Structure 1
Amino acid sequence: MLCVQNLSVTFTMYDRGLSQKQTTAIADLELHINAGEVVAVVGSSGSGKSLLAHAILGILPKNAHVTGKITYNNEYLTYKRQVELRGKDIVLIPQSVSYLDPLMSVGKQLSRIARLRGLSTNASQQIIDQVLARYKLAPSVKQLFPFQLSGGMARRILVAMAVIGQANLVIADEPTPGLHPEVVVETLNHLRELADEGKGVLLITHELEAALQIADKVAVFYAGTTVEIAAKTDFTHRGKALRHPYTQALWRSLPQNEFIPVSGTQPNPDTLPLGCLFAERCPIATTDCLTHRPPLREVCNGLVRCIHA
């Protein structure tokens, strides 16, 4: 359904005075999503997760220079096509409920989504009521404004918008932070249901453990690139089935595993190293790792960017 190949995003920014600098936020990023599949994207802050979503939707700022190739249903995703599909066939469930219009009732916001499908007023209301019932929201919710919703209710409204619009690709950007554990499970299950109906779901999250509850595969980002794409079943025991040292360290840092912190810091996007982006923190790095950026290659039914895998 979605294929991202060699995606790079560079921002032109002012440094001192009128001098400019180039900041590479995403470099040679790869990702594939099939219909009926949940692909989780995990990684630390600044690894390019949300930027990927913005690149797919075509909502990057004007100072962004994008290279690489993004295809959707085997057609090149040009800016014109992004505008045509955005909010209809491809939708974003944002990480903040503040994306809901604070001056418009929930019912009017849902109706606006329904109208994009060209439905009559009666048909729109029927579908809205059906979707609200599906997510255990009373019809009276339509009269409420966003500030009157609980966090869990607001999250369900955002998911309902994606369902009402009948999008085939759903991008959920950090949909669970700050929610009660029961609401987290509920939100994730809703996303899994969408995938089971044949939609593609891109789940962007910091929470690896939560992602593994519903994901079919996990893409691990580091410093703006994909270091590994692994099946959900590879995240077991001490992570011996994982291929990249960073993915292994990420898995072992969880409290329920060995709770071992990852030493060092992620490289600055202004001064990315020539070689492997994780080399300075990697316990098995060699001279070759410092001088050559490894390609993404297939190892044991997964993809990894490491010469030692």
Structure 2
Amino acid sequence: MSLQVEALTLTMKGHSQPLVGPLSWRLEAGQCMGLVGGSGAGKSLVADALFQALPAEIECQGRMTLNDAPLSPLSMALMPQSIEALDPLAPVTQQIRRFARRNAEAVDPTRLLAQVQLEAEAGALFPHQLSGGMARRVLLALTLATGADWLVIDEPTLGLDPTVADQLIQLLSTLKAQGKGVLLISHDLVRLIQVADEVMILASGQQVETAPVAAFDGSGGGLKHPFSRALWQAQQWTQNPLTIHQGDER
């Protein structure tokens, strides 16, 4: 089983220069593909394209298939980046049950909340009563409630306490081990490589490299593109400003 994308290209109507692409990748069941790049690189637009949810002014070209059949958004579940995706008029538990019903899934909201490191009491809260980190974890719980085998996860650790962020990455590793296919979009490259099998790097909407996680080691000498190495070294510096990368001393 695999999700395959060939020459995905996103272009603003009336323009010839693509905003994103062409991008190509293949994601097998039980694998995680990481998608990284600077702000404005087009990562979230890629997620929108998979779910046929692009803004009206953007045209999509390319071939997207799931198990050699045309890709249907109903085959996947998306954790969006924005917490505005939560229904402001419904408590958390009601929203979890709603997402489960869409795919005829039977879920225990308390167990699902525990999976994303939230107490059962959070189920009675409305979105405006949640902190930013709690809201992001609720978004992940809604995604898991669908029971989908293919997950697109957009910035799951943004704004989270480091300990909780590590726990959620471990949860994604568990889902992968259970056979889920995961496309993980994140700025957090250091955590992303803990769960991904390979990583696609975007620069200004272009696919500059797709690298195995083993290439993200030391100063990134295994990475082929200068942008990829610079991105990796910048992440390492953010995590540990005292680190001197191999080859930096002259």
Structure ranking higher on relative contact order (CA contacts 8 Å, 6+ apart): 2
Give the length in aligned residue pairs. 240
For the pair 1:44 / 2:24, whether they are aligned, the reply is no
Whole-Å Cα distance in 1 between the matches of residues 89 and 30 of structure 2?
Answer: 35
Letter in 2 for 1:57: F
Superposition map of 1:97-176 within 5 A: 97-118=83-104, 124=106, 127-176=108-157
Does the 8 Å contact 2:117/2:164 carry over to 1? no
For the pair 1:195 / 2:176, whether they are aligned, the reply is yes
Deviation at 1:133, TM superposition (A): 3.7
1:170 is paired with a residue whose SS is: strand
For the pair 1:204 / 2:185, whether they are aligned, the reply is yes
Letter in 2 for 1:226: Q
Deviation at 1:207, TM superposition (A): 2.0
Deviation at 1:63, TM superposition (A): 1.9
Aligned identity (percent) is 38
1:80-123 per-position Cα deviation (integer Å, ceiling 9, x unaligned): x33xx1xxx3111111222111111111111111211335xxxx
User: What corresponds to 2:28 in structure 1?
Assistant: 34
Whole-Å Cα distance in 1 between the matches of residues 108 and 96 of structure 2?
Answer: 10
Give 5+ residue unaligned stretches, structure 2. Answer: 246-250
Letter in 1 for 2:160: L
Whole-Å Cα distance in 1 between the matches of residues 23 and 168 of structure 2?
Answer: 27
2:214 is paired with a residue whose SS is: helix
For the pair 1:4 / 2:9, whether they are aligned, the reply is no
2:19 is paired with a residue whose SS is: strand
Whole-Å Cα distance in 2 between the matches of residues 5 and 176 of structure 1?
Answer: 28
C-alpha distance 252-140 of structure 1, shift in aligned 2 (>3 A): closer
Whole-Å Cα distance in 2 between the matches of residues 148 and 237 of structure 1?
Answer: 42
Deviation at 1:23, TM superposition (A): 5.0
The 10-residue stretch of structure 1 (126-135 or 164-173) with the greater mean CA deviation from structure 2: 126-135
Using the size of structure 1 for normalisation, the TM-score is 0.71
Whole-Å Cα distance in 2 between the matches of residues 236 and 118 of structure 1?
Answer: 43
Using the size of structure 2 for normalisation, the TM-score is 0.87
Does the 8 Å contact 1:152/1:183 carry over to 2? no
Letter in 1 for 2:205: G
Whole-Å Cα distance in 1 between the matches of residues 162 and 25 of structure 2?
Answer: 29
User: What corresponds to 1:233 in structure 2?
Assistant: 214
User: What corresponds to 1:277 in structure 2?
Assistant: none
Does the 8 Å contact 2:31/2:197 carry over to 1? yes
Whole-Å Cα distance in 2 between the matches of residues 98 and 147 of structure 1?
Answer: 10
Runs of at least 4 residues off by over 6 Å = none
1:163 is paired with a residue whose SS is: helix
User: What corresponds to 2:198 in structure 1?
Assistant: 217
C-alpha distance 21-133 of structure 1, shift in aligned 2 (>3 A): closer
Letter in 1 for 2:40: G
Of the candidates 241, 250, 253, which is equivalent to residue 231 of structure 2?
250
Structure number with larger C-alpha Rg: 1
